[in-house]
Structure 1
Amino acid sequence: MILDIDRLQALRDCCADEAAFIRLQKVLAIAQSSRSFGHRLASTDLAIVPTDLVPTDIPAHSSYHNQLRSRGSHLLQGVAEATSQLLMGDDYCEAITRALAILGKTTGVDRVHIFTIQPHPETGEPVANQKLEWVRESITAHIHDPAFQSFSFSSPSATEWYRAIAAGKIVSGVTREMPPEEQECLVAQGILAILVVPIRINSELWGFIGFDDCQSERQWSEDEKAALSMVAASIGGAIARQQVEAALRQSESRLKQIAANVPGMIYQFLCRADGSRRVLYASSGCQELLELDPEAVQADFSLIADLCHPADRANFEQALADSAAALEPWNWEGRIITPSGKLKWIQGFSRPERQDNGDLLWDGVLVDITDRKQAEQDLRDSEARYRAMLDASPDLMFRLSRNGRYLDFKGNAVSADVPREAIVGRYLHDVLPADVADMFWREIQQTLASGELRTCEYSLPEESGLHAYEARIVVSGQDEVLTVVQDVTDRKRVEKELRDSEDRLQSFFNATFETVIIHDFNKIIDVNPATEQLLGYSAAEMIGMSVMDLVAPSYQEAVKRTWQSLTSPNQPYEYEAMGVRKDGTHFFAAVCVKAIQYKGQTMRVAGVRNITERKRTEAAIRQSEARNRALVNAIPDLMFRISRDGTYLDCKAERDGDVLLPPSQLIGKTVYEVLPPDLAEQRMHYVEQALKTGEIQLFEYQLRLSNNRANQLYRQMTSEQIAPSEIFYIRDYEARVVVSGEDEVLAIVRDITERKCSEHQLRASAERDRLLGEIALRIRQSLDLNEILNTAAVEVRHLLKADRVSISHYNEAGISIVVAESVAENVLPTLGSVTDSSIYEEVRDIFERDRIYILNDTEQAKSPPYLKEYYKQYQIRAGIAVPIMPDGRFFGSLVVNQCSNPREWQPFEADLMDRLATQVTIAIQQSQLYQQVQSLNAGLEQQVEERTAQLQQKMQELQQLNQLKDEFLNAFSHDLRTPIMGVSLVLKNLLNQSGEIIPITRSIVTRMLQSSEHQLQLINSLLQAHAGETQGVVLHCELLQLGLLTQVILEELEPLVLKNQATLKNLVPPDLPLVTADPLQLRRVFENLITNALNHNPPGVDLTVSATVEEEMIRFNFQDNGVGMSQEVSDRLFERYVRGPKSRHSTGIGLGLYLSRQIITAHGGQIGVHSAPNVGSTFWLTLPLAISSAAQSNLQEG
């Protein structure tokens, strides 16, 4: 094996010591000798191996030579290969694992393993843990056996092994020859021979590598031990290398973290000899400092240069050039403008180093000094402010030395005429009287000795009299003081006056009947005799007591908050709180507090007044006012106070829009200035009657309001659209006038327009229903088509009070002819007029798009030219038209025209037209059937017998149609008439009661509401059925779990089931697949099917609801054991206006199942029924799955 110098050095590094390396050289030399069959190693093969270690005369056939060939050469080759793996591998664990496999195969052992030896975390004793292992296929692995983890060396034999390994010795032997304790341990593992080689790292024991022979009692030679020792050393080296690499990675990570946490940016800047510049490295602080990515800065230095403030750019370049020229450290401060526009001050530090190629390399740091610069500017500003304050001070200031010499002088306005040289340089005794100078000298000495501020007072005679001065002396430097002198003559005078005032205050304090307490926010300083009487304490007991001891606990926090809210120590304040007497009784107190000077100190004087009785009176008044105000506010009516002469004194309205004028403008005006003359006279009449008789006056009136004001009020009452053409509105009011004071009344005005409108609408609705019934009866009385159409035109014009009503008919060619008409006087007739077939398709499209065509103003409508000409020719200003479609064929149209002026057609008029068109359609069908019968009778008399059956069938259809029409009208008229008559009777009964105020019980209102809701339900059913036919069912679909929805619906219907003494069984699985459906529409279908079963079966019926999944659909079954029905009834059950076999006992109009079919069909499903008389019925419906079964299976498998 040829090893170069670098590889040999690596082997040396892997050996534990020099002796191990020498043994390795011997082994390698012997191996090389054996491979060359006795020839000596050439010096180029292993240059540093001594030649005397290589055998020279070895017979080729000797036993020694054979042994080397069979074991030594093979072992050394494996050791070299294993060592190569350890030296070359990047992953040390993987490299060691491969090396173990190589060694196991090379040495011929059955198991090779590596253990680590570490102190136990609790006892500190050494324990072994198996780390890696290689075993032959037939041998049991121990790597996952817990017994080989935390293996202790506590037994005597194990202790001996540990000592030997720790001393660096190799332990080997045959199991049979070992002590019993060791034999027992090794035999349990199937080991016949063992070799253990210690692994050391940095001269410390790390663990060991073991070789187990489970097939033979192997004896290990010294050469084998030496070779395997070398492998152990290589393993130790690999582990040490891994530890060093890990430490290096950790060090690099810490370095990056340190660089990231440095307050600024660490950088390395290169200036090449050719003048080019580049940033070689920039730390992550670059982003925060410069708002630039480090990679971008490293790629382009100009990004940094461009950030420099234009005023600092030249200075930056000059500082850089100076540093490069002198190789001196670069230290620069300047401004930059970041990409976001921020202005920052930065400081750069770096040291240049010239490279061998002439380049200059700077290593340094940039830091943000914006805060420091701002602080420096703030300091300069602060110094300027303090200097200005000093100049503005009115006091005299002197700097004096220790010996009393004046060093400096600052005068004031009074001493402005004194020259500075008259003071500076002179001594105290030269300027001041002797006694004052002596006092000053002593104070200066004491100030310099103590270092503390000292204050002294003195007096000097002046031309205006004796003046008092106060001097404050403070150390200002070495052996000098600063003296600030203030003229306190006025203050002394005020203090004397204050003392005199305090004496007078004390006299008042003791004599007043008001409770007075002097305190310092904490302790009570003094009290007067009145306080003793109010609180029950003596003055001695209260002085020193906490102020809070006199406040009830529930009010203490409020009092503290009052104190904390003060913005000045001298700020007066007031509050109310609950006080506590000595005996524990409470009282309400009003406290007024002000700051005073008391005995030379600033204190608080609190005047306390017992307001308990006042509080009780105020509470009673507030309670009374609250009750009265609540009563007034609860009344939604307008209220006016009016004087005898009609002047508005006050006004109460919830909104300004409720009255003709805002209350602020109304008050002070008279009734005659606000109301129309007739209403003003009416109101004043009742005002005079109320003042004269003293009795309440009640009257009603109408007020015509302008469009804007009425529009506001009208929108509060209704959501209907207001016609812009209407200019005035009339509203109804009820007024009650009662005397409220001397020469004044209170008028309570209630807007009863809504009530009047409701009454009018009820009367109009009843009248329309009556007229509709009469018209339908008159239309059906004739079978002559012309008579039917003419009667319909006359009756419709009379009912709608229109100028023209016409009925047009379209023939098969699409030509329209006006076949019937009714017109008012002076209105141009259109009877017989013919319209070209070119507009037939357009007319059909209009009626297919809009069931009812409404035109409020022909002049405002966007119509084709031919229509505008038609409107002009026949003087049409407004119109409404509905199609006549017997048997689904477009027969013609029923048209109503208003010729005098535009007309805003009301919803009830459109609904009435639709219903009238239905009646006309039925009459036309009757007439057509009659004509067919007449034609058959006239032309086919000879075939009477052959066509009798057909005629009977037609007559039966006619009868069924008549019966259907009669049943619908009867049911609908009955269902509408019954609640209307009930409401009308209730209102009549209420009006017949005496008295102005009519009491209405909740039950009456509830019944009236139920009647109205029933009417609305019927009308909604008709509208929904009609909308479903013309526009389709509108769905708002979402993903639904029908099991949960069915459970909720059935639970809600449980009271209805119990009312019918029925039983309801829910067999719907809770885990049905999801469907996409409208939950509200499905709820309606389910409720229709269940209520249909309850309504059309006797009490006690059994209902069962079940569901299954069939062919990508969910099928629901609603089964009952009721009376059932025939197949004929079942086939027509889902048609419009068809009711069940027990319809005579039901007030429905036959729309429930029809609407259910529309809803299910709109969902993409089907609905039907299986039934037989006396067997029961099973209604079924299907709904498609939201997700196919195959997709759901894939989701479940996934």
Structure 2
Amino acid sequence: MDETLKSLHTSNCQQDSINLLSRVAVNLPGMIFQVLQRRDGSPFVLYVSSGCQDLFELEPEVIQVDFQGLLKLIHPQDIKILTESISASVNIFSPWRWEGRIITPSGMKWIQCTCQPQRQANGDCLWDGLVMDITDQKQAEEKLRESEARYKAILDAIPDLIFRISRDGKYLDLKSEGANITLSKEEIVGKNLWELLPRDVAAITQEAIAKTLDSGTLQTYEYQLPTPLGVRDYEARLVVSAPDEVLAIVRDITQRKQVEAQLHLSAQRDRLLTESLARIRSSLKLDQILQTTVTEVRQFLQADRVFIGINNAKLKGRTIAESVDPNYPSVSGWSTNDEAYLQELQNLLKTNLVRVIEDIRQTTISPKVKAHFQKFKTRASLTVPIMLGDKLFGALIANQCSGPRNWQPMEIDLLQQMSEQVAIAIQQSLIHQELAELNTNLEHQVQERTAQLQQKMQEIEELHRVKDVVLHTVAHDLRTSVMGNLMVLQNLLKRGLGNGDWGLGNSGPPLGIRGNGDWVLGKESAQSLIPVSSSIIERMIQGNDRQLKMIDSLLEIHSCEKEGISIKREPVQFSTLMEGVIADLEPILRQNQATLKNLIPKDLPLVMADANRLQKVLASLLTHSLQHNPPGLNFTMKATFEAGIIRTQIQHNGMAMSKLECDRLFDLYVRDPQDCCSTSIGLKMYLCRKVIKAHGGEIGVTTNHKRGLAFWFTLPVN
């Protein structure tokens, strides 16, 4: 070991140095190092503080063994600068300072190295230095550079003027790139705003500067300046930028102001159109609508005169509504019968649709039209036709009398839309007049038809009254006659009991029929009488009985149709009710050799029903089945309860029916005259439906294509 190393590694010197460096390292961020660079360039690490663990993520012992390992952590792009800086420092033994990047397991870091090289007597170089982590500082600097670049880009992109102005109104600096300004920077900076601005604008600006500096808040104001391009509108925003200094951002808002003015006019126009349409929809007073229209249009246009002129076969050419400035002549009441003049005006409107005259002195017009303009002191005119369909009805006209006028597109559009509204109002008024006339005619027709209808109703009521009288009279006479026949026939049948034939018995006077058809009861010779058997008398009794029942059914149906069917409801147990009905029907079942199986449950709830009416319904259903089938028919009766309804079904195994017959079975219509029982049974079936409907239920029949029918009806429970 050479003399330098020997001197550095004496026990006292080494321990003192280590103790000193350790004490210093405790109070410093980063890593303290002491490295000896020999004359041959090889390094020898004398000391490395524990800060290398956080900085390089290496233990001190690792660095002492392999100092060149630190170079492997240097970012590849920074190695060249590092080596060049070390060589430059060694050559002149100047202080060494380097900033660069290292790559550690946890990621990239920025470090700063500072060191003072010391030449040794033998030519070696001793490096005592400090390495610090400056990653946070570098990141902050990078963000600051990005922010400055971003702000610079924003400022460069802003077309506004930006001024720095002192409290006393002196222009300190300005940014004018992209702004429309006529003065150069040199002509503005150093001058006072009172020297460059009109006095009213300078006063407003000076006041805003004072408010901004005193309150520390943003101040905004608007002003106008005359420029070579005309009067321009500006908006200024002032903020505090330094003590007694403001930053003023000035923007040209002329276009925005124009747009705002246009939007304001557009809103007024839309309001005017909306209100006009609302008046037309809510009112039929045409004169009031037209007068309000011309008044509001003149107010919107700020014109001297607005009026509506019409021209048609009835009214000729005249003014019907006008709003005019009192300083100019009125055209109200003006009219003309000059067909040539009116035709000329019509042709002008048909040709141009919208007639725009900005200055009558610069327009070629006929002498008559020119004279008309001069009479009413018209200098400019805007005329829009009022069309009813494809026909010209009149025109909506705006006049300027004070001088020429440049009519704007929005003004022309307003007049066109208002003319359409006026056309709607006129059409609505005409339609209302036509409707009034039609209503008058219709009222007369309704009165006539009402009188005729009342007369017909009276005739129908009279016919019903006559029908009722005839029905009761005929039914009464028929019923009396039939009942008389029944009494006679039943007495005759009783007298002939026990004998085989009438007219040949010994128990009473003989009964027979003469050749002329008279019945004979007496002691005429048997040879002069035609004998009558008891079976004939029985069939005659049956026929009269059917006629009596049919008459009763007709009277009952008539009463139902006129007054409604009478139902006496009582709460009854349904199964008990059916058992009683079945017991009453037992004779007719036995007579027709029929059976009825009762499958109705005992636990069905109560129903509100008229037992007598239901008995007749069941009798009619069974009678219909028995009369349309041979003897020996089998019936099955069932009942179910669901959703507050009891549904009863009576099924038999007899003949089936077509669907059409099932659909019409309970209707009231004329039955097949070939069926001797059909009419009376049909009336009974119709009454069945009436009874079930009166109970609040339904009734019907379904057919089995193979054999049999199933009648059903429903009843609501109590």
TM-score, structure 2 as length reference: 0.39
TM-score, structure 1 as length reference: 0.25
* Bigger RCO (CA 8 Å, 6+ sep): 2
> Larger radius of gyration, structure 1 or 2?
2
